[in-house]
Structure 1
Amino acid sequence: MNISGPKVVKNMTKWLSSRDALALDLPSGALPVAASTGYPATLVILHDELEAPLGKVRVKRGGAESASLRGHRGLISVLETLRGKGLFHGMVKQGSGEGKWQAQGKKRGKDDGLARELDVLRVGVGIGRPVGREKDAVADYVLTKMEGRELDAVNRAAGSVVDVLEEEIYRVG
């Protein structure tokens, strides 16, 4: 999961290309305008949210420039890969630590030839947090299989996640 970016981006660009090819074959008006033109595209990333209470859904649009990734290695991997391919521009961090953010210049995708601006929607489902904040305790907590109360809380969050996805599908602009 920590190095999921390359695989996610590969599958996303494959899907975008097939979606655009399908749109060319359909009569005008058969798909919503955004889908039929291939623009804009939104990548929805569903992830665990260590800093949110168990089962709480948090929604954030954009990358780290809009809201901290809080060290989530999977999110970092996906967003860094998107930027490296020229698919997500947003902002880039200047320097180390809590440095300043600066707009990144747009460029064409390196591998796929797609020149599209991608919107990223992060949907985090709270998994709570272990008592200790040590790196090993957090890693063990995140990687332990959920059962009972925890699993029930995350399952109940599914309805809220579906609501977010429906809202995103019908979002204009």
Structure 2
Amino acid sequence: MHFSSFLIVGLGNPGPRYVSTRHNIGALSIAELLSRHPGTNLSVHRRTNTETADFFLSPGGPKAIIARTRTAMNLSGTPVAGLVDFFKIPLNHLVIIHDELELPFGDIKIRLGGGDHGHNGLKSVSRSLKSRDYVRVSIGIGRPPGRMDPAKFVLQPFNKNERAELPIICANAVDAVEDYLHGHS
């Protein structure tokens, strides 16, 4: 029996300045996923300017390729499209984990296709793939307070209370990804 691989990409911005920002919750979720598969480590995939690793979802089952881009969030599309092409991933097997302003903090939503809700990383991915028909795992970061510019809000670090909840939220997001993969493999 032939299984197509799944590609799971956590969106974020590279560099230490952005590690703990709201926009990087997708990349933080990739770290949680890696922690569940001991011995699985990211390595640089030079052709696509990403970091990737892979493991099998179950013995004899499909492979999961996990990745983080090494480009700015707004330029995520080119490396993601490169990975899709390189690994020959059907778009319904591409899973993008990202932050979502329109969801309350900590809420998680999975959907196939749909709009980008103003998310520049998703816009870039959709533009590069020439399609919106991929899976999105949206992790709620809530709305900015008052009249704060959303672009400024997503680049700020999580506050103390939010940081305390992050491990649970990332674990919940990865649980949702794993449930989705097992239900669609």
Structure 2 unaligned regions, length at least 5 = 1-72
- TM normalised by structure 2 equals 0.54
Match of 2:172 among 151, 155, 160: 160
Which of 129, 142, 156 lines up with 2:143 in the alignment? 129
- Give 1 or 2 for the bigger CA radius of gyration: 1
Q: Indicate the residue corresponding to 1:58 in structure 2.
A: 109
> What runs of 5+ residues in structure 1 fail to find an aligned partner?
17-37, 91-118
Give the fraction of aligned pairs with identical amino acids, expressed as a percent.
36
For 1:2, what is the secondary structure of its paired residue? helix
CA distance in 2, matches of 1:46, 1:40: 14
C-alpha RMSD over aligned residues: 2.3
Point out 4+ residue stretches in structure 1 off by more than 4 angstroms.
38-41
Letter of the structure 1 residue corresponding to residue 128 of structure 2: T
Match of 2:125 in 1: 78
TM-score (norm 1): 0.57
The answer as to 2:163 corresponding to 1:148 is no
Aligned positions, number:
113
Match of 1:43 among 94, 106, 109: 94
Q: Secondary structure at the match of 1:130?
A: coil
Deviations 1:39-85, CA, capped at 9 Å, x for gaps: 67511110001111111112121132xxxx211111111011111xx
Counterpart in the other structure of 2:30: none
Aligned match of 2:150: 138
Deviations 1:25-48 (A, max 9, x none): xxxxxxxxxxxxx66751111000
User: Which secondary structure does the structure 2 equivalent of 1:8 belong to?
Assistant: helix
Q: CA deviation at 1:153?
A: 2.5
Separation in 1, partners of 2:92, 2:107: 26
Amino acid at match of 2:127: E
Quote the offset at 1:147 in angstroms.
Answer: 3.9
Instruction: Provide the C-alpha distance between the structure 1 equivalents of 2:91 and 2:83, rounded to a whole number of angstroms.
Output: 17
Distance change >3 Å, CA 172–CA 58, structure 1 → 2: closer
Equivalent of residue 10 in structure 1, options 78, 82, 87:
82
Contact kept in structure 2, 1:125 and 1:154, CA below 8 Å: no
| 3-state DSSP of counterpart to 2:84 | helix
